């Protein structure tokens, strides 16, 4: 007998439902930590309220989406979904379609009743999500709430093949790092102050506000301690020079945060490259299929997908470095947005058409995706300073 999925939306669905949802996200090939309940706790430190939209079928959680909401000074309450909704594995085609339709209907209700604007970046392989939401009144979005494309390395090949995929200079470095005193180790709770310092160095260099100690403590408790993130510390003769935070979920390990002490005399030893190489090998040993470099800048997407080869020199600096590891670019399904109010939608579209308006929207996007800067500092101060751009 056919049974329709039941969809609920709540700030806190309870520990049992959260555990079911987290297990589903971790098992889904396209699962991403930005859909985990631990990520909701982390983003709560940055001023976001979670909304768990969950679909149940025959009593079990079989799909869902984590919506993160925040009230902005202009525009009211805004929500976004990074790499969701997800439908769990093991359903037949009919049940999967029913669950997906029910989830998209639930997201439409959230967009119309609980937010002024709702942005959704579907997960990899979620083209049917885009189509279903478009059919419910959503429209295409270029807001860029989550990266729409990224670069990744296939980890199913052998280590020798991985090494051959590196640029010639990086292949040389893999033989030189040990002799030059460069080593990479896993970081733990005792390294939080060290991590804060290295991430802060990079934030200040790029003009962003560093993460708070409380934010990094929550990141460790909710993600690192639960096996959903790994801290890699790069050292030269025992002195820390760089660090990465790599998240682990579904088929992928993904570079999430990077830190580098640019004042170190050892910067010429390319310690970040050593971290990426060791992270790739670790992720392969952990059984991940992909090593994801964590998104591409918008300007790089057209270059990497251009016909006739890639003009590496035309890439943005960080992305030019990423391609040296042998990764291939891929796109996520088109993002969509729902702005139900004609007045708000008209104002939003008008703002997007002006240079000044686009700058304002870029600042808003930074605030939506940013860290906890501005909590306790006042909106006016936070608006004057860019915040650290946590992906998703």
pLDDT in tens, the chain (392 residues): 578 999 999 999 999 999 999 999 999 999 999 999 999 999 999 899 999 999 999 999 999 999 999 987 766 899 999 999 999 988 999 999 999 999 999 999 999 999 999 999 999 999 999 999 999 999 999 988 889 999 999 999 999 999 999 999 999 999 999 999 999 999 999 999 999 999 999 988 887 788 899 999 999 999 999 999 999 999 999 999 999 999 999 999 999 999 999 988 888 999 999 999 999 999 999 999 999 999 888 888 888 887 766 777 778 778 888 989 998 999 999 999 999 999 988 888 888 888 877 777 676 665 555 555 433 333 333 333 333 344 46
Q: Into how many domains does the chain fold?
A: 2
Q: Are residues 70 and 118 in the same domain?
A: yes
CATH number of the domain encompassing residue 81: 3.40.630.30
Residue 57 lies in a domain: yes
Residue 130 lies in a domain: yes
Q: Are residues 16 and 138 in the same domain?
A: yes
Q: Are residues 157 and 124 in the same domain?
A: no
Rounded CA gap, 253 and 281, in Å? 11
Rounded CA gap, 388 and 392, in Å? 12
Euclidean distance between the first and the last CA atom of the chain, given in angstroms as a whole number: 40
Q: Are residues 284 and 197 in the same domain?
A: yes
Range of the domain at 235: 149-331
The confidence score (pLDDT) of residue 367 equals 55
Q: Are residues 89 and 172 in the same domain?
A: no
Rounded CA gap, 303 and 300, in Å? 5
Indicate the pTM of the whole model: 0.89
Quote the distance between the C-alpha of residue 133 and its chain's center: 21
Q: Residue 150, class by beta-carbon neighbours within 10 Å (0-12 exposed, 13-18 middle, 19+ buried)?
A: buried
Residue 318 lies in a domain: yes
Kindly give the residue spans of alpha helices, DSSP state H, lying in 207-316: 213-219, 271-285, 298-304
Q: Are residues 154 and 284 in the same domain?
A: yes
Q: Are residues 365 and 301 in the same domain?
A: no
Residue 389 lies in a domain: no
Residue 1 lies in a domain: no
Q: Are residues 378 and 304 in the same domain?
A: no
The confidence score (pLDDT) of residue 88 equals 94
Q: Are residues 67 and 187 in the same domain?
A: no
DSSP characters over 188-216: -GGGHHHHHHHHHHHHHHHT-BPPPHHHH
Main-chain dihedrals φ then ψ at residue 164, nearest 5 degrees: -65, -25
Q: Are residues 277 and 365 in the same domain?
A: no
Q: Are residues 264 and 125 in the same domain?
A: no
Q: Are residues 226 and 279 in the same domain?
A: yes
The confidence score (pLDDT) of residue 365 equals 62
């Amino acid at each position: 007998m056919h049974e329709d999925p039941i969809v609920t939306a709540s700030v806190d669905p309870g520990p049992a439902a959260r555990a079911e949802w987290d297990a589903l996200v971790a098992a889904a090939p396209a699962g991403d930590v930005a859909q985990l309940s631990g990520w909701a706790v982390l983003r709560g430190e940055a001023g976001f309220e979670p909304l768990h939209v969950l679909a149940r079928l025959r009593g079990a959680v079989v799909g869902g989406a984590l919506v993160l909401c925040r009230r902005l000074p202009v525009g009211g309450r805004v929500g976004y979904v990074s790499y969701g909704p997800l439908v769990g594995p093991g359903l037949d085609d009919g049940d999967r379609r029913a669950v997906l339709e029910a989830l998209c209907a639930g997201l439409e209700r959230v967009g119309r009743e609980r937010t002024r604007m709702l942005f959704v970046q579907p997960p990899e392989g979620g083209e049917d999500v885009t189509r279903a939401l478009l059919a419910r009144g959503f429209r295409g979005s270029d807001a860029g709430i989550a990266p729409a494309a990224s670069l990744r390395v296939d980890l199913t090949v052998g280590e020798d093949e991985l090494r051959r995929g590196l640029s010639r200079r990086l292949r040389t470095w893999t033989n030189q790092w040990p002799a030059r005193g460069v080593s990479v180790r896993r970081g733990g709770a005792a390294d939080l102050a060290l991590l804060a310092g290295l991430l802060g160095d990079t934030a200040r260099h790029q003009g962003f506000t560093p993460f708070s100690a409380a934010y990094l403590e929550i990141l460790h408790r909710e993600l690192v301690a639960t096996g959903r993130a790994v801290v890699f510390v790069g050292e030269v003769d025992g002195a820390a020079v760089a660090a990465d935070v790599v998240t682990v979920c579904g088929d992928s390990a993904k570079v999430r945060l990077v830190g580098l002490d640019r004042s170190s005399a050892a910067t010429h030893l390319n310690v970040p490259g050593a971290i990426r190489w060791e992270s790739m090998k670790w992720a392969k040993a952990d059984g991940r299929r992909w090593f994801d470099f964590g998104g591409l800048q918008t300007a790089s997407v057209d270059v990497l997908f251009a016909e006739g080869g890639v003009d590496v020199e035309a890439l943005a600096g960080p992305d030019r470095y990423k391609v040296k590891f042998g990764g291939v670019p891929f796109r996520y399904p088109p993002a969509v947005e729902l702005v139900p109010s004609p007045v708000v939608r008209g104002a939003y579209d008008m703002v997007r058409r002006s240079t000044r308006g686009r700058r304002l929207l870029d600042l808003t996007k930074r605030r939506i995706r940013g860290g906890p800067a501005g909590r306790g500092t006042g909106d006016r101060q936070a608006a004057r300073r860019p915040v650290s751009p946590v992906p998703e």
